[in-house]
């Protein structure tokens, strides 16, 4: 997703409103939308800078879908037209042959009127976008793509918990995931104050919920944790100052800070986070918020590796499953872009 595309909107005197009209076709086992699940057919186009795309990167890795779904990464900055493949040699995605993600959208919808967002799942044979419905995409990775999960993959969307999980994820999206944007892009003091109050009310609620249980749904990681984590990982480097979410830093919230570090130090989470790209995206692209495009040097990120002691709450991070293996060599985040992780990672 992009925060300067037409996928988002802001006005001078109203609250920030995100355009959530995504391409709702899905890749399913029965192929009812014309896109059947098929190993090697689709390419996940993501950007490490984007929290919504970071979700898809994490879920793909936790479930072990790397062999079934290839991944292309856009750079952290873009113009009003599209995310670009400037990280690849010659600035061209090696599988799709595109310079811009926009080309995959136009291959299916020549007059596509809305924002060119990541993540997007692209049908490689047609080189056209299949879906950009990021919330449904990761749930489908858990359910529709089960045949291609690695041995020991965790159950990220357990059927017995879906009712409560869905309600929780809606609340977290409204007040936290999108809530930070409603603060940062508020068009008036009144809309900012309202968004700020909702954000901190929900963060306090989450602080209480997680005080006595290791993860949002109990003893094992679920998609709900993935969705909250990508916002928490960006909180101190970006949202606290850039988006004026500054009642406290994440590192000043004892429970949420320990919870976030617990996840960061879990294989599949921290090893997908690129703090350098995150900061560059927000501070360079959001010229309405940061017209100088100066990227701050801080904060110090080494504290992400400090002990969290959440294991004292018990639980099994992957439930009956196992941790994912090391990242693919081509998908390793450059060491200089993040706090260094233990050698085993």
pLDDT of res. 337: 80
Read off the pLDDT of each residue in 81-106 and give the average, rounded to a whole number: 97
Domain limits, CATH 1.20.1050.10, in the chain: 159-337
Architecture in CATH of 8-148: 3-Layer(aba) Sandwich (3.40)
Catalytic member of 22, 181, 196, 215: 181
Catalytic member of 42, 50, 245, 283: 50
Determine whether 181 is an active site residue.
yes
**pLDDT at residue 310 above 60?**
yes
pLDDT tens, position by position, 21-74: 899 999 999 999 999 999 999 999 999 999 999 999 999 999 999 999 999 999
**pLDDT at residue 138 above 60?**
yes
Residue 19 vs residues 109, 192, 307, 320: alpha-carbon distances, Å:
18, 19, 39, 38
pLDDT band at 338 (very low <50, low <70, confident <90, very high): low
Backbone torsion region of residue 149, taken as left when φ is above 0, otherwise alpha when ψ lies between -120 and 50, otherwise beta: beta
Interior/surface letters 59-98, b for 16+ CB within 10 angstroms, e for the rest: bbbbbbbbebbbbbbbbbbbeeebbbbeebeeeebeebeb
For residues 247 and 97, what is the distance between their CA atoms, to the nearest angstrom? 45
Neighbours of 10 (CB within 10 A): 18
pLDDT tens, position by position, 215-266: 999 999 999 999 999 999 999 999 999 999 999 999 999 999 999 999 999 9
Q: In this predicted structure, which of 46-50, 116-120, 176-180, 296-300 has the lowest mean pLDDT?
A: 296-300
What are the φ/ψ torsions at residue 84 (nearest 5 degrees)?
A: -125, 160
Read off the pLDDT of each residue in 106-112 and give the average, rounded to a whole number: 97
Read off the pLDDT of each residue in 7-16 and give the average, rounded to a whole number: 56
Burial class of 224 by CB neighbour count within 10 A (0 to 12, 13 to 18, 19+): buried
Q: What is the DSSP string of 173-207?
A: IIIIITHHHHHHT-SSHHHHHHHHHHHHHHHHHHH
For residues 194 and 15, what is the distance between their CA atoms, to the nearest angstrom? 9
Q: Hunting for tokens 């909250």 — which residue is that?
A: 228
Architecture in CATH of 159-337: Up-down Bundle (1.20)
Residue 184 vs residues 244, 246, 254, 293: alpha-carbon distances, Å:
6, 11, 24, 16
pLDDT band at 321 (very low <50, low <70, confident <90, very high): very high
pLDDT, averaged across the chain: 94
For residues 37 and 65, what is the distance between their CA atoms, to the nearest angstrom? 12
Q: What is the DSSP string of 275-296?
A: HHHHHHHHHHH-TTT-TT-PPP
Q: Do the Cβ atoms of 321 and 152 come closer than 8 Å?
A: yes
Q: Do the Cβ atoms of 18 and 9 come closer than 8 Å?
A: yes
Handedness of CA 280, 285, 287, 289 (dihedral sign): negative
Domain limits, CATH 3.40.30.10, in the chain: 8-148
pTM of the shown model: 0.94
């Amino acid at each position: 997703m992009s925060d300067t595309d037409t996928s988002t909107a802001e006005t001078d005197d109203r609250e920030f409103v995100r355009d959530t009209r995504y391409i709702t076709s899905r890749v399913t086992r029965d192929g009812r939308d014309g896109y059947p699940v098929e190993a090697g057919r689709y390419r996940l186009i993501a950007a490490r800078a984007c929290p919504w795309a970071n979700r898809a990167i994490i879920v793909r890795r936790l479930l072990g879908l790397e062999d079934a779904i290839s991944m292309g990464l856009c750079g952290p900055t873009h113009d009003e037209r599209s995310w670009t493949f400037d990280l690849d040699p010659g600035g061209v995605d090696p599988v799709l042959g595109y310079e811009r993600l926009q080309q995959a959208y136009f291959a299916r919808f020549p007059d596509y009127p809305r924002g060119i967002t990541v993540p997007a799942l692209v049908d490689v044979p047609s080189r056209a976008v299949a879906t950009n419905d990021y919330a449904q995409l990761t749930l489908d990775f858990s359910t529709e793509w089960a045949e291609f999960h690695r041995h020991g993959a965790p159950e990220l969307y357990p059927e017995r918990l879906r009712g409560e999980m869905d309600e929780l994820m809606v609340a977290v999206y409204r007040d936290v995931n999108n809530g930070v944007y409603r603060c940062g892009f508020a068009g008036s003091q009144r809309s900012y104050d309202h968004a700020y109050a909702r954000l901190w009310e929900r963060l306090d609620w989450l602080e209480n919920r997680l005080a006595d249980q290791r993860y949002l749904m109990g003893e094992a990681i679920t998609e709900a944790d993935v969705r909250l984590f990508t916002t928490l990982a960006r909180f101190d480097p970006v949202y606290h100052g850039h988006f004026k979410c500054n009642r406290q830093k994440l590192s000043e919230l004892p429970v949420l800070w320990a919870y976030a570090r617990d996840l960061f130090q879990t294989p599949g989470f921290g090893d997908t986070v690129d703090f350098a790209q995150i900061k560059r995206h927000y501070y360079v692209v959001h010229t309405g918020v940061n017209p100088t495009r100066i990227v701050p040097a801080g904060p110090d990120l080494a504290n992400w590796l400090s002990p969290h002691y959440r294991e004292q709450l018990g639980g099994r991070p992957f439930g009956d499953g196992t941790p994912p293996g090391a990242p693919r060599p081509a998908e390793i985040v450059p060491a200089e872009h993040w706090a260094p992780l233990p050698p085993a990672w």
